[in-house]
Amino acid sequence: MADDCTVLLVHGAWHGDWCWDEVAERLRAVGTPVVAVDLPSVASGGDMYDDALAVRDAIAAIDGEVVVVGHSYGGIVITEGAAGAQGVRHLVYLTAFMLDEGESLLATIGGALPPWIAVPDGKAMVVPDGEPVFYNTTAPELGRAAAARLRPQAKATFEQPVRSVAWRDVPSTYVICDRDNAIPVPAQEAMAARARTTHRLDADHSPFMNHAGAVVALIRDAAGSPKER
């Protein structure tokens, strides 16, 4: 992995940059610069395009090439936000939504939210019991602690279509998590067909917690060669 290559970590819905702590620590331990974005759609009411702008701004602020990693909903954000950005070497979709132009998350899952999501005010989505959905193979104490940190997510983020598609121009890797209770494996496999490279982990929806070492290895492997010109 080139010394001037920075890893930009983008979390999924309801989470924050805190979910990357273990991955970020391990990357820094081997000398890899890391930036983790806190998306405005969580708690503050921003939409998907605000999230994409936050990613684009983060990329622009980094000196040198960037490997952009998106988890879950964060895959939509990096698809939109990294499109046309300078210096993006590779995209990593970690059990993430890898959508094409005109597609939205809600339409991709059939137009209806799964039963584990509630929308009490019609605008912000919450997950009343996130542990069995996101952390089903994570150590119980870690899963409970993480579930307690989840925040409301703007519903609009699931409804807004992708307008620009970074993965058409930037090499990409998709990581399928075979024990994911949030995104069914067949759906992951269908989206992974759009990526240049696919890997699998025997992990739940949150491999950054229970398989941090494997996630770091995959990121470093994806960043191993400069972006194809």
Give 96's contacts (C-beta < 8 A, 6+ positions apart): 12, 70, 71, 72, 73, 74, 75, 76, 78, 174, 191
> Per DSSP, what are the bridge partners of residue 90?
67
Query: Within its chain, how far is the Cα of 90 from the centroid?
Result: 14
Of the chain, the end-to-end C-alpha distance in Å amounts to 18
Question: Which burial class, exposed, middle or buried, applies to 179 when counting CB atoms under 10 A from its CB (0-12, 13-18, 19+)?
Answer: middle
- Active site annotation includes 72: yes
Catalytic residue, candidates 41, 44, 72, 104: 72
Which of the residues are catalytic?
72
